[in-house]
Amino acid sequence: MECRQRKNRNGKHMKIKSTLHLGSLAAIVLLAAGALRLLGGHPGPVKRLPAEQRQANMLMLRFQDALAAEHWQEALGFCSDRLRTSAAEFPTPKDFFTTTMPIEHVLAQSFGCWSCGANFYGLFVTLSEPGVEPRIDWYWGLVPANDRWVVDYPPSALGEYVVKKRAAFQERDGRIKQIRQSLEPKVREVKTRLTSLSERFVIGSPMLFVSRSRLKPTLVRSSYSSCSIHAGFSGSNSPKARSASPNRYVSAESM
C-alpha cells in the first residue's frame, strides 16, 4: 500500500512539474511575441517617396563616390555656384575640399535630413568626440539649382569654423551666467504663501486659493489659482478627508 501511495504521489508531482514547466514556456513565448510586436510596431500604409528626395539621395551618393575615389574635379561639379567660385581661390579642388569639408565624416554619413523639404535637404555631421561638450556640428545641404540638385555649405575653413563655434558657445554660457548671478539676489527675497478662500471644499470641485508673492517689504503681488481634490487620490487619503467623503466635503484642516 505504502509503495502504491508513494508512486501515486510521485506521479502527481511529476504531472504538476510538467504542467508548470509547460505553462512557464507558454508564458515566455507569449511575452517574447508581445515584445517583438511592440518593438516592431504596426506597419503604416505604403507611401511613395517624393521624386525630389530620390534625386537628392542619388546626388549625395554620386558626390560621396567622387570624394572616395578622389575625383576632386568631378566632386566639384556636383556643388553649387558659390562653392565653385570659392574653390577657384584655392590651388586645386583637392585643397578646397580638404580645407572646408570634413571628408571622412561625410563619407561615413547615410542620407537622412534634419530639415527636409521639397527645396532643401539639410544634413549635418558631429565634429566633436562623443560625450565632449560643447557639441560642435557641421552643417551642409542639398538644394535644387537649374533643374538639378547640388551640394551646398558655407565655404569656410574647418579650423576657423570650429573656433567660431566654440567662441559662440562660450559667449552664450557667459550671458547665461550673468543672468543667473543678477537674478540670484532677487530670488532670495521672493516668498510665496497660498491662502484658501474657504474652510470647506467639495470633492471634485475647484478650490480657490490666493497666491501672494512678497518681493520687497513694500511690494506684494497677489494672484488666484484653483485645484481639485478627488476621492482616492493624494490630498483626500487623510482620516479626516475619508470620514468626510460621504458628505463630499473636506475641511481645510485635513489638508
Q: What average pLDDT does the segment 56-85 reach?
A: 95
Q: What is the tens place of the pLDDT at every residue in 143-201?
A: 998 888 999 999 999 989 888 888 888 888 888 888 887 777 766 766 677 777 777 77
Looking at residues 201-222, what average pLDDT do you find?
63
Q: Report angle CA 68, 127, 60 to the nearest 5 degrees.
A: 35
Write down the domain spans for the chain. 51-166, 190-254
Query: Helix, strand, or coil here: 224?
Result: strand
Using DSSP, state whether 219 is helix, strand or coil. Answer: strand
Average pLDDT for 10-26: 50
* In the predicted structure, residue 233 carries a pLDDT above the cut 80: no
* Higher-confidence position of 118 and 70: 70
What band does 40 get if pLDDT is binned at 50, 70 and 90?
low
Handedness of CA 79, 82, 83, 84 (dihedral sign): positive
- Kindly report whether the peptide bond that precedes residue 43 is cis, defined as omega within 30 degrees of 0: no
Question: What CATH number does domain 51-166 carry, 1.10.8, 2.50.20, 3.10.450, 2.60.120?
Answer: 3.10.450
This prediction's pTM: 0.54
Letter for the amino acid at 211? S
Retrieve residue 146's grid coordinates: 537649374
Query: Whose grid coordinates read 555631421?
Result: 125
pLDDT 10s digits, 80-92: 999 999 999 999 9
